[in-house]
Structure 1
Amino acid sequence: MKLGRLALGAAGLLLLVLIVFAMLDEPVSLDLRGAELEDMVFVAGGAFRVGATLQTVEAFYVDRFEVTEREWARFRKATGRGPLPYWKGLRRDPDDPVRYVNLQDAKDFAHWKGKELPTNLQWERASQGEGGKRFPWGDGFLLAANTAELWEGQVESWGVTRVGTFERGRSAVGAYDMIGNVWEWTRSRTDERLHVTGRVEEGQGDRFIIRGGAFDTPIRGRADLEEAVPARTRRWDLGFRCVIAEAAYRRQERIFAALRELGYRHGWLHGLALKAAERDLVDEGEAALPYLEQAKQRAGNHPWLQERIQRIIERIHGGS
């Protein structure tokens, strides 16, 4: 009887020790960077009308506003990137859309944010009014965007406005300035044009589609607002916004959840969860590699965690 009580007491003490260890075993915070949905709007997937045809897209999120000077400044500070070639003396407000970005600039920013540039189809879907209307606000022309019509008689003063200025110009999904302010890069090449009347700018190298027009673009009587320009183009009326597919965002969340589990040092306390996290990351395959590399870099003060992450990277590369 006495031995039984002693054994029971020892088991209870061991359980208490394990509980204390589990409480003290806080995961390493990796502060991973990925897409944030706070300033994005949801765009439902499915079929939608473009002219006389039906097109289909998967669900995605799109930036509510064009990327601003303020956001670009944060990007520059974080990455050590050099300045853009603005004209000297050009007025610039932190909430203005950033300009003079070429295609690679825009892609680099999008990658830094865990996003990407929209395809031409995604841009078209995000910009449409209800039921595939011609403009975000409907089929009829209105002074509801920063376009050339707004500046008639005062062309010497025209320029960009702060993002989100034109409430009436919002698209049906809630995206601002899809028409006017600045043209916006897409990642689609010329052969993915949706409106064959769009202008194709001559120049060296591949050309990519830009959409939406700008403050210096007349839109009355024009339906396409689609052009194709060389990838290295930098203009005072050209900016961008970003997207992320809903499926890609959900995948990112799964990867982040698994990476958080890796941060527990004492695997014997979290064995099942750790094995499940490792299996989930390997199953994600190459899609997980950028996040694993980021996590490995952020784990610099924890060699045991770097080694754990490296083993998973090697398993993915090895296909096991």
Structure 2
Amino acid sequence: MAKIEGGSFMMGGVSEQARPDELPRHSETVHTFWMDATEVTNAQFQEFIDATGYVTTAERKIELEGKSYPPGALIFDKTNPQLWWKFKEGANWKHPYGPESSIEVKANHPVVQVSWYDAMAYAHWMGKRLPTEVEWEYAASADQNAIYPWGNDFSVATNHANFHQGTFPMENIAQDGFEKTASVGSFPPNANGLSDMAGNVWEWCLDTYHPNAYEMPDKRQNGYFANYVNPKQQKVIRGGSFLCSESYCTGYRAAARMSSTPDTGLEHTGFRLVYVQ
């Protein structure tokens, strides 16, 4: 883990690509904490499974409106522009793209197809927790005016992050060397000693997602948004992934926010943890 010294910073979007949910830019204060230097890997998650026998959300049958459906998760289908994500029976953290896929040679890749609930269970076992959204953005860059975790120069992005280059989503020319996930630490860490804070996989945060979160910081409980009136209780994800591109979500910007329902497994979403003494 890397020690992140506490302090105050300006949180929110700093570029013309900033979306409404990244505004208004505002001041936040963070206490010192420790953060995983990399995203949690398949090997680390395997240790948790072996020790506890935990069964992930994607490995359980789905009960919906009185009907039972087989276990599975969502995979990306670039051939369908109307619906990029499709449910794949048998997809889970051990088989990220379906039962025919494997993580056999991907021990050091970030674990994916894990729900927010799975990440919370792993965190409890480790004696850590998911980062709050404020902590995550504070740790993403040592420069509060930087657009990206590595700075402001996008021309060097492929030297710092695993993301999509080319015409999204049909053509990925992979100038960064990776079409999907990369081993954690494949790119230089940011100034705080953290790898892959931009790209590779989206990372679950503790917070429930509010589109207007920055307008109501007083509604937080213990530093994060615990609940929301939205029955789906979507949770914040941060950092972007190998699917992010300049023409689509630009999720590798330090201030970029996205969300997903807490029971969802996706082939481009993982997590890292923090520890507060």
Do the structures match in fold with TM over 0.5?
yes
Q: Which residue of 2 aligns with 1:105?
A: 118
Equivalent residue pairs, number: 198
1:231 to 262, 265, 272: 262
> Structure 1 residue 129: deviation in Å?
3.7
Q: 2:236, 2:117 → 1: CA distance?
A: 14
CA deviations on 1:113-134 (whole Å, 9 max, x unpaired) are 1100000001101111434411
Larger Rg: 1
Q: Which runs of 5+ in 1 are unaligned?
A: 1-39, 197-202, 250-320
Q: 2:121, 2:52 → 1: CA distance?
A: 10
Q: Which residue of 1 aligns with 2:186?
A: 165
The answer (yes or no) to whether the contact 1:48–1:132 under 8 Å persists in 2 is no
Q: Which residue of 2 aligns with 1:305?
A: none
The answer (yes or no) to whether the contact 2:199–2:239 under 8 Å persists in 1 is yes
Structure 1 outlier segments of 4+, above 4 Å? 192-196
Q: Which runs of 5+ in 2 are unaligned?
A: 13-24, 60-91, 216-229
The one-letter amino acid paired with 1:226 is R
Q: Secondary structure at the match of 2:165?
A: helix
The answer (yes or no) to whether the contact 2:165–2:174 under 8 Å persists in 1 is no
Q: Which residue of 1 aligns with 2:10?
A: 49
Q: 1:80, 1:152 → 2: CA distance?
A: 38
Matched, 1:60 2:79: no
The one-letter amino acid paired with 1:242 is L
TM-score (norm 1): 0.57
RMSD of equivalent CA atoms: 2.5
Higher strand share: 2
Q: 1:129, 1:53 → 2: CA distance?
A: 16
The answer (yes or no) to whether the contact 1:99–1:236 under 8 Å persists in 2 is yes
Q: Which residue of 2 aligns with 1:176?
A: 195
Q: 2:263, 2:146 → 1: CA distance?
A: 32
Q: 2:269, 2:211 → 1: CA distance?
A: 19
The answer (yes or no) to whether the contact 1:212–1:225 under 8 Å persists in 2 is yes
Note the 1:63-74 alignment, pairs <5 A: 63-74=36-47
Note the 1:74-223 alignment, pairs <5 A: 74-82=47-55, 85=92, 86=95, 87-92=98-103, 93-141=106-154, 142-143=157-158, 144-149=160-165, 152-153=172-173, 158-167=179-188, 170-191=189-210, 205-219=232-246, 222=250, 223=253
Higher helix share: 1
Query: What is the percentage of aligned positions where both structures have the same residue?
Result: 31
The one-letter amino acid paired with 2:10 is R
